[in-house]
Amino acid sequence: MKDRPDEDAVERYRTIIDIRNLEIRLFWQRSNYFLVLNTALGTGLFVVRGHGFAVLLSLLGLTSALLWLCVNLGGKFWQVRWEQRLHDEERG
């Protein structure tokens, strides 16, 4: 009976590590998607330079960059949250 809380603590610890690692992977995956999108918009901007589409592509690039920033801040929030939970689990 005494071993049961230790098994539960180990399982919680493993779960928290797995979730933290998932958040890190998702952070980089989302960041790569935005990098590809911004690269495509930047390339398109240089290709259609001097046409009416340049302003549209510039606005789309700016919007994409701002969304990228917001998504990265949100991802960092969750990563820090799970790291804090991991730290709490290690201490307690």
**Per residue, what are the HEC states of 2-54?**
CHHHHHHHHHHHHHHHHHHHHHHHHHHHHHHHHHHHHHHHHHHHHHCCCCCHH
At residue 61, the pLDDT reads: 94
Residue 92 has pLDDT above 90, yes or no: no
In the predicted structure, residue 91 carries a pLDDT above the cut 90: no
Inform me whether the pLDDT recorded for 64 exceeds 80.
yes
Q: Which residue has the higher pLDDT, 3 or 59?
A: 59
Read off the pLDDT band of 48 (50, 70, 90). confident
Alpha carbon 57 to chain centroid, angstroms = 24
Q: What is the pTM of this model?
A: 0.79
List the chain domain ranges.
Answer: 10-91
Q: What is the mean pLDDT of the chain?
A: 90
